[in-house]
Structures are given as structure tokens and as C-alpha cells.
């Protein structure tokens, strides 16, 4: 299996280097950025499994970066702050950060908590095994592996069904093409993310009233897809 990818966004060089060194020793695949804008760009490019995000950053602060990441991408965010005030902690968690650590911190504690967040995140992305998902006129039945629109069964290939079920059982959450590929086609699959686009197009033709203006299976430009229930 590939190493988990961690993106560190931190402008203090000594901390950046120390954290990078430690996480590399722990066999993570580590990427770095030194300001908020660069961090956001790299997060979109690399699609890390976790972002370690400093609060006070040049160009765009960590709170803003966290907000944008949360809105558009499904990846855990771990905030680092120089301020120990409780208010920062609260704000950090309110905007959707998964965990929070205050400088100075021990590397051992950081690694333990990073692993914790990653573990939690991977268990959360498991499919909720809902037997029937209803969305307007669309019904998706897990056991019989069939979907119906206005009670009429629609013919779907197994991968189309899996993709529809996966997105619909995580309604409102965005997934990147890479995440979808890994989840439905597996890590071994050496594929093209366009495989996902093609399946999405096929599904839309079957479930959307107007496939060119989808209302259920939504494209999030530059990110991936989301199912809106």
C-alpha cells in the first residue's frame, strides 16, 4: 500500500523541517508549503490524506485555508497554533478542523495524534450500509443492487451502481476523483481519473431529469463529485 500523504503548511522553517523530518521517519509521504495560498494549491494538487496547518501564515491564514478545504475537499485538517488561548481551540474546531495542537509540542504527541486523526478519518469514510436510500423519485436498494426511478428499475452496470450507492450514502460530501477511484477500483487499479467521469456521465443519463444540468450528482469544479439528496 502507498504511504499516507501529509501536507504541512507552516511558515516557520525550523518547525517545518522538524515536523517533516519526524513524519518522514514515520514513513509518511511528506509535502510542504510555506504560505496559505501555496498550501491550498498543493492540497488541491496532491490530495493529501491529512493537512497539518499552521494558523498564522502569510498570504492566507490557516483558518481561511481550513474553511476552503472543508468546503471543497474531504480530507482531515490538523491545526497548529502558537496561541494557547482556548478561543483559538474552539474556533479551530468550529471551522471543522479534526484536531488541534499548540506550540511548543512534542513530536511524539504530534505523531500519535496525527495517526489518531487518520484512523478516525478512514473509519468515517466507510460506506454507511443503508438498505434503501431515497432521493426524490430515485430509490437505491443495497441488497438487490438495483435502483429505481419512479418505481421503474433502471439498468446499471455493477460499477455504476457502486458509485451511485457510495456517493448517495455520503450525501452532501465531496469526493475527489482519486478518492473515488481508490475506493471503488482499489489501490492496485492503475487508471485514469476519467474513468470516474465516464461512469458519472452514464449514471446521470439514468437518474437525472436533465443529464446536462444535473441536480443530484453534482460536479465540483477542480475537486470531484458530490451527491445532493
**Residues in the site for Ca ion, rule: CB under 5 A?**
11, 54, 56
Q: C-beta of 14: minimal distance to Ca ion in Å?
A: 11
Nearest residue relative to Ca ion (C-beta):
56
Which three cell numbers, joined as nine digits, stand for 134? 431515497
Smallest gap, in angstroms, from Cβ of residue 99 to Ca ion? Answer: 18
Least Å from the CB of residue 79 to Ca ion: 11
Q: How far apart are CA 143 and CA 130, in angstroms?
A: 10
Which positions ≥6 away from 36 have C-beta within 8 Å? 9, 57, 58, 59, 60, 61, 62, 64, 65
Rounded to the nearest whole angstrom, what is the least distance from the CB of residue 103 to Ca ion in the complex?
9
In the block, cell 476523483 appears at 177
In degrees and rounded to multiples of 5, residue 122 shows phi and psi of -75, -30
CA quadruple 59, 61, 64, 66: dihedral sign: positive
Nearest distance from C-beta of residue 63 to Ca ion, angstroms:
12
Question: 54 or 160: whose CB is closer to Ca ion?
Answer: 54
Cell matching residue 48: 493529501
Q: Which residue, 8 or 174, has its beta carbon nearer to Ca ion?
A: 8
Q: State which residue, 59 or 67, has the beta carbon closest to Ca ion.
A: 59
Distance between CA atoms of residues 49 and 31, nearest Å: 11
- The SS3 of residue 99 is strand
Q: Shortest gap between Cβ of 43 and Ca ion (angstroms)?
A: 17
110/156 with CB nearer Ca ion: 110
DSSP helix/strand/coil, 160: helix
CB-wise, 56 or 135, nearer to Ca ion?
A: 56
Q: Which residues pair with 32 in a beta bridge?
A: 8
User: Could you tell me which residues are beta bridge partners of residue 53?
Assistant: 9, 79
Number of Cβ atoms within 10 Å of the Cβ of 202: 17
Q: How many residues does the chain have?
A: 229
Closest CB to Ca ion among 100 and 161?
Answer: 100
Amino acid at each position: 500500500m502507498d504511504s499516507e500523504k501529509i501536507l504541512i503548511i507552516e511558515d516557520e522553517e525550523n518547525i517545518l523541517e522538524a515536523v517533516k523530518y519526524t513524519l518522514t521517519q514515520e514513513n509518511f509521504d511528506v509535502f510542504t508549503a510555506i504560505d496559505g495560498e501555496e498550501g491550498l494549491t498543493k492540497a488541491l494538487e496532491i490530495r493529501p490524506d491529512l493537512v497539518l496547518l499552521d494558523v498564522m501564515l502569510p498570504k492566507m491564514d490557516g483558518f481561511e485555508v481550513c474553511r476552503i478545504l472543508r468546503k471543497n475537499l474531504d480530507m482531515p485538517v490538523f491545526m497548529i497554533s502558537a496561541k494557547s488561548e482556548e478561543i483559538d481551540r474552539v474556533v479551530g474546531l468550529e471551522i471543522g478542523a479534526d484536531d488541534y495542537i499548540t506550540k511548543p509540542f512534542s513530536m511524539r504527541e504530534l505523531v500519535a495524534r496525527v495517526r489518531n486523526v487518520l484512523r478516525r478519518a478512514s473509519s468515517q469514510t466507510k460506506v454507511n450500509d443503508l438498505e434503501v436510500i431515497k432521493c426524490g423519485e430515485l430509490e437505491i436498494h443495497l441488497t438487490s443492487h438495483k435502483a429505481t426511478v419512479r418505481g421503474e428499475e433502471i439498468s446499471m452496470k455493477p460499477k455504476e451502481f457502486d458509485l451511485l450507492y457510495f456517493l448517495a450514502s455520503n450525501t452532501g460530501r465531496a469526493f475527489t476523483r482519486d478518492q473515488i477511484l481508490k475506493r471503488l477500483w482499489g489501490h492496485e487499479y492503475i487508471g485514469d481519473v476519467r474513468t470516474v467521469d465516464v461512469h458519472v456521465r452514464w449514471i446521470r443519463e439514468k437518474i437525472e431529469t436533465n443529464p446536462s444540468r444535473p441536480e443530484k450528482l453534482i460536479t465540483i469544479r477542480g475537486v470531484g463529485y458530490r451527491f445532493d439528496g
